[in-house]
A and B are shown apart, each in its own frame.
Chain A
Amino acid sequence: MIASAIDAGTSPAAISAAGLVKRYGNLAAVDGLDLEIPAGEFFGLLGPNGSGKTTTIHMLATLVRPSEGRVKIGDIDVSRHPVQARRQIGLVFQESALDRTLTVRENLRFAGRLYNLPPSVSDQRSAELLELFDMTDRRDKPVATLSGGMRRALDIVRGVLHEPRVLFLDEPTIGLDLPNRRRIWRFIERLRARTGMTVLLTTHYLEEAYPCDRVVFVRKGKLVEEGNPQQLVARLGQHILEIEANDLDALRKRLEPELGECLIDGDVAFFRHGAEEMATLASLQTQVGDKATAWRVRRPNLNDVFMWISAGKALKS
């Protein structure tokens, strides 16, 4: 066996993937992805819909066989030993994986038994986890009676009941309202603080990926950008200028020589401004005058990074 990047280093990474490819016919859903995620890291896999995030998670979690490449969970080769690998991982799917007709306790006992946990152990662990998630009073309620947010929380409890080393969260807050999304993130925070487990998540609510230690952006199955969220945002610039105008095209031609290439999203043009001082922007605003119907200057965030990358533009101007 040829030594590869994933064999390097002293302690094995929690998750490592080398040259991961998944083809469906002529379409490469994932096209040569390399990942190296150290134990305990909070890792975000970000990208537009159809960029291959879910396929990647399913390959890492043994559910989809890679067309090419190798995945290891710890030092377990996922293709060769999928059952052992599954023992080490928890996966919370985009869609619920619960039996709505059974109660919370029955669901968790069922899940526990699938991992060979006796009911006494899964009862005790679920009691602790439900308390961590403020759901102790729901134990004997049928899942069908829980709110969407609670069901998602229960799905996470289900995913970590067997104390996995690695937790995959595929869009954990999709379809939830803002208060419930915040709740889920509080739970994930508490869970990480308590167990120190490696967490890999995908999300397209990008502000939620901000607490990640590291994020990668994928586009058409390829890794296009990678880094610490704060650093990625900083690379984009110090300010984002949003302009609305009746003749957006004319304004764009006027401003691009000064500010660099802009991004058009609907009726709004986005410009980046690398410097901390705002004098340039202020003088440009005076020159443009009321040709712009709206002029906003704000700090960039991960959504901007995502937009720039989705548009296929490099971060550094």
Chain B
Amino acid sequence: MIARPIYAVLEREVLRMLRQKTRLVSAMVRPLIWLFVIGAGFGTVIGDSRGIPYQSFLVAGVIGMTMLFGAMLAALTTVYDKESGVMRMMIIAPLPHFWIVIAKVLSAALAAILQALILIVLLALLGYIGSRTNFVLLAGGLVITSLACAGIGILTASFTRSLDNFAAIMNFVIFPVFFLSGSLYPVQNLPEVLRWVSTFNPYTYGVDLLKHATMGPGVMAADFSLTTDFAVLAGFTLLAVVVASWRFSRESAYEPMIHVLTGKQR
């Protein structure tokens, strides 16, 4: 019964992603710039990190970045949906409203996975993904990390009235989540306060998982165990869905939404 509405939301997200060519191109260009420009620059300063060339270390970070930005932007379209009206179509449909939240999370995760897959193909062609990669672990990492990133996005969206705040979201959510994650440097190397903050950042565990997957066994570049990574990411995703659903269905949060939707302010 619920499969078809969820499929509808997923299909719409993919259609929109494929149609917004600039969004897709910039999703590919952004990580490559980091890898080649920042990676090369830092690489010469830092040298090898724990025996791994800095650019190889950065591969997990840029795959994660694609997913973070891809999932965040897709989940934040929930706010756009509220403004543009598609949310009206969804809230009047015969399904409990928490399914809208779940469908949006799944669709954002799907968009992120598709973008990450394209990037991974590009990286493989450029020789950055090779024999050391554990593809099963990478696949698992893509799924759970994209879900967690979508969770961050839907949580942000459920507290956001309008995309006018987008710059604020960029500054206060996306950038801190990215920079305090071990994407650019091992978490262990961070100053204590930042290291402490990073351990509360769910995205840290996604990047860590990707490091496990891209750098192979034996090379100790990851900071946490696989179990910790999966547990934190799954737990956070669940928490995010529950909190966002509660925000969507709670009357005081939901009714203002109705008034926003109908252009009637109270």
User: Using a CB–CB distance below 8 Å, which chain A residues touch chain B?
Assistant: 24, 54, 58, 61, 63-65, 83-84, 86-87, 89-91, 93-102, 106, 109-111, 113-118, 158, 170
Judge whether B263 and A115 touch: CB under 8 Å: no
The distance from the CB of B110 to the nearest CB of chain A, in whole angstroms, is 16
Judge whether B84 and A115 touch: CB under 8 Å: no
Give residues 183-203 of B contacting A (CB, 8 Å): none
The distance from the CB of B13 to the nearest CB of chain A, in whole angstroms, is 11
Judge whether A114 and B93 touch: CB under 8 Å: yes
Judge whether A116 and B12 touch: CB under 8 Å: no
Contact of A116 among B1, B84, B263 (CB under 8 A): B1
How many chain B residues touch A (CB < 8 A): the figure is 30
Roughly how many angstroms separate A84 CA and B95 CA in the complex, as a whole number? 9
**A98 partner residues in chain B, CB cutoff 8 A:** 85-86, 89
In chain B, what residue has the closest Cβ to A168? B92
B38 at the binding interface (Cβ < 8 Å): no
**A110 partner residues in chain B, CB cutoff 8 A:** 8, 11-12, 89
From B138-146, B163-171, B254-262, give the one contacting chain A: B254-262
Roughly how many angstroms separate A89 CA and B221 CA in the complex, as a whole number? 57
**B93 partner residues in chain A, CB cutoff 8 A:** 86, 111, 114-115
**A86 partner residues in chain B, CB cutoff 8 A:** 92-94
B121 at the binding interface (Cβ < 8 Å): no
Judge whether B1 and A100 touch: CB under 8 Å: no
Judge whether B90 and A114 touch: CB under 8 Å: yes
**A101 partner residues in chain B, CB cutoff 8 A:** 16, 19
Contact of A61 among B12, B19, B92 (CB under 8 A): B92
In chain B, what residue has the closest Cβ to A88? B94
The 7 closest A-B pairs by CB, nearest first: A113-B8, A97-B88, A114-B93, A87-B94, A86-B94, A97-B89, A97-B85
Roughly how many angstroms separate A311 CA and B5 CA in the complex, as a whole number? 47
User: Using a CB–CB distance below 8 Å, which chain B residues touch chain A?
Assistant: 1, 4-5, 7-8, 11-12, 15-16, 19, 84-86, 88-96, 251, 255, 258, 261-264, 266
Judge whether B90 and A102 touch: CB under 8 Å: no
**B262 partner residues in chain A, CB cutoff 8 A:** 54, 58, 93-95, 170
Judge whether B96 and A83 touch: CB under 8 Å: yes
| 30 intermolecular pairs with C-beta atoms under 8 Å apart | A24-B266, A58-B262, A63-B92, A63-B258, A64-B255, A64-B258, A83-B94, A83-B95, A83-B96, A84-B94, A87-B94, A89-B92, A94-B262, A94-B263, A97-B92, A100-B84, A101-B19, A102-B12, A111-B89, A113-B4, A113-B7, A113-B8, A113-B11, A114-B8, A114-B89, A114-B93, A114-B94, A115-B93, A115-B94, A116-B4
The distance from the CB of A108 to the nearest CB of chain B, in whole angstroms, is 11
Contact of A63 among B12, B19, B85, B91 (CB under 8 A): B91
Judge whether A114 and B263 touch: CB under 8 Å: no
The distance from the CB of B99 to the nearest CB of chain A, in whole angstroms, is 10
Judge whether A118 and B261 touch: CB under 8 Å: no
The distance from the CB of B88 to the nearest CB of chain A, in whole angstroms, is 4
